[in-house]
Structure 1
C-alpha cells in the first residue's frame, strides 16, 4: 500500500465528529500539522470497533502546541490514520 503523504508534507486533520469510535482526538480536529514519518499500515481503528478490518497508512504528524491549544512553545506528535488527513 503506497503512502499518500511524505515526510515534511503539511496536512490538515478532519473536522468530522463521528457518532462512533475514533482515534482522532477532538482537540486535533481541523488543525494543521507536518508529517514527520510513517507509523506503518494498520487497520483503521474506527472501523475495527465496528468489526470491519480495513488497513491504511498511519502517519506521525507533529503539531505546535499553539495550533492545538492556542498557547505553548512545545510540539505534540500524534499517530494518525490517512483517513483523518487531507492536503493543507
Structure 2
C-alpha cells in the first residue's frame, strides 16, 4: 500500500463531523499539522465500527497547541488515518 504523505508534509484535517464513530477528535478538525512519521497500516476505525474492514496508512501528525487550542507552547501528536487528511 502506497503512502500519500511523508515526514515533513503539512496537512489539514477533515472538517467533517460524522454522525457515527470517528477517531478524529473534534478539537483537531480543520487544523493544520506536520506529518512526523507513520504509524503503520490499520483498518479505518470509523468503518470497522460498522463492520467494514478497509486498511489504510495511519500517520503521526504533530500540531502546535496554539493551532489546536489557541494557546500554549507545547505540541500534540495524534495518530490519524489517511482519510482524515488533505494537502495543506
Pairwise TM-score range, normalised by the shorter structure:
over 0.9
> Alignment RMSD, CA only?
0.2
What residue is the counterpart of 2:78 in the other structure?
A: 78
What residue is the counterpart of 1:42 in the other structure?
A: 42
What residue is the counterpart of 1:33 in the other structure?
A: 33
Give the C-alpha shift of residue 67 in structure 1. Answer: 0.0
Runs of 4+ off more than 4 Å: none
2:66 matches 1:66: yes
What residue is the counterpart of 2:7 in the other structure?
A: 7
Give the C-alpha shift of residue 68 in structure 1. Answer: 0.0
User: TM-score scaled by structure 2?
Assistant: 1.00
- CA distance in 1 between partners of 2:54 and 2:11 (Å): 22
Give the C-alpha shift of residue 59 in structure 1. Answer: 0.0
User: TM-score scaled by structure 1?
Assistant: 1.00
- CA distance in 1 between partners of 2:44 and 2:7 (Å): 21
How many aligned positions are there? 88
Q: For structure 2, which runs of at least 5 residues remain unmatched after alignment?
A: none
